[in-house]
Amino acid sequence: QIVDLAAGVVDNTVTLRPPVGKPLVLCVRGLVERDGDEPASFAITFTESELRGAPLGPLRVPLPRPRGRITSTFSDGDMRVVRGSRGTLFVLQRARADR
């Protein structure tokens, strides 16, 4: 996940490794802004998503609920813990350059 508050964009990239076949990459892009007075709370609206690596080429994936809020509850140089507005908990690890 890359959050660029200055540009107001967020990019999520997840590599899916199915038991059979090649890995797939899900890319979700959206808009982000601070949410209220909390410095670690953000409102996100996802605007597009695409599944790459599919046999027929990239596929657009519909987003049934593209709006939400997140609050970052822990962050250091390697990891970030984020709670979502729908009860989700995300543990995000910083991607290394050698991956």
CB 10 within 8 A of CB 34: no
What's the pLDDT at 97?
61
Q: Residue 33 sits in which domain range? A: 2-69
* 36 occurs within a structural domain: yes
pLDDT category at 1 given cuts 50, 70, 90 is confident
Task: List CB contacts of 25: < 8 A, sequence separation 6 or more.
Answer: 13, 14, 15, 16, 51, 52, 53
* 77 occurs within a structural domain: no
Separation of alpha carbons 29 and 2, rounded Å? 10
pTM reported for the whole predicted model: 0.77
* 74 occurs within a structural domain: no
* 91 occurs within a structural domain: no
Tell me the pLDDT of the chain averaged across its residues.
Answer: 89
- Residue-wise pLDDT for 78-99, tens only, equals 999 999 999 999 998 887 665 5
- Residue-wise pLDDT for 56-65, tens only, equals 889 998 888 8
